[in-house]
Chains A and B, each alone.
Chain A
């Protein structure tokens, strides 16, 4: 490490070049971290799901409802602890530009099943007692400037008309995959307004023993196989994963772009390193003459490349981490829990090390192999 000052002095010689190179590495790793986080966020949401929660849907497709009467039949099955149900509402707020999920649930059983949804006790009580009350994520509160007790009107797209709810409670999710921009309201009120159609979009079934999941899922499906609305039951994780696959080739796309970005910046860094090395041919010869070994010179060039790459990585990765954290970014609700993970940061550092090796290798080998006599001819 005693040679670090020498390396820094070399880097300081062309301050502009050093700064620009570091900045381009920083930008590349910023992009790399952002793209990678899109993928990890989608993956994390597909892994979400309580081990003891099953989801039952209509086997024909998720746009078809199930009869509300299934609740009691499922609840009576052995191994089932509790049942709740929900229905997608698809309401639009204001001009509809800011989309957020909203659905009707059976509040008491739903909240009991989702300890990830944290609500202050008094608000929870207020929500449970008000049939037209709404429970909203804390992001909606800050984004629309809503207040507790305020009336909020959604326009139904599937269920026509204006639906007014009173904001009674605000929740904070402990698992980011749940999303903090959801509006939840009472299924009883929903059912009443659509003329007691007695429908549920999906059932959530809490079971006693997670290892029994496949057996119970089959038991539920078997029970309704010959009815007008057969079910398809799976773990909550499978349900979530089916949404994640809807993104299609996004992971591949993000990966390809990430690769192109890193490669483009590799070219910039390698170029800068080669330019520096070429300009210093004479100096390297002098250093060799006064006794610097080939190996040491190789190391010095590599160290220089390393300082460039790692400083850039520090700025880019750190910048990404802080920026997304500070702005509470969630891609307009599409990627809840957007957070640069430690694994991504480590991968980013690995990329930077790769960048150092790839950009420093040619100049470093050249410096190590340089014949002194020839090189000194360049020195005027």
Chain B
């Protein structure tokens, strides 16, 4: 079901935690919110779930306004599933009973079918009678997801669902989860602090800072067309390259770039894949660090001015720290942040 937030604000005591959040998520889409801790991601979820009442603005689920200044539909009437950060499985109930907890309005048979489906879907068969404390972290997280999905909510919210898992489990669960959610066609909004999870899952990606949603776009656009320095800093690796605009060109230490709008002084966002190793290039830089990543190397190189930038190179280009190589710019689009 479609989700829309219009200028949502939330204040606790004297602190304004959300300062106007606007967001649309179409039915069946997966949205992901990233941002530094304390930016308001979790609060946004809590407002959508109805665990907090908004101070102003409006939250709409389908065609129904669920939260506004003078309207607050209770949590239990929103049909929203929420996977809490640490799963919060009920310790006194076994796996099956935890999943069954949200199904009490269903007839008995239907309820059993639903539980069995969930157990199958999340590969929890055989664990029905286990108590939560006897499960591994990954299993607990699956149970939590199953529990939230079982009542077939209109919207699923997930708060850091992978934070307690190790890296491998995490990668597995991310891809499984995406296909699961897509199969079920359930609208999902998820919070994470890990951009790799975000890229793996999101149809829409949002970056939050200081209670504002700085950008809400496709992951591609957020990466390649960040709307602010903060977004650019947070999403993907990158360095700001100082540039002076004159006569339709940006002049930088790494060469010039054509841009009809070039004017004044600015910073250009330089992603690692925007800088290529080219022995013919007049621009020389010294390698000061390198990370082998299997398919490629991520080099840190120091320009004559002392500025350090990142460069990506295929892994057969094996160079050592201390070597000086030629580099050239290879960006197919330009992200400019003007200095005022």
A, B: real partners:
no
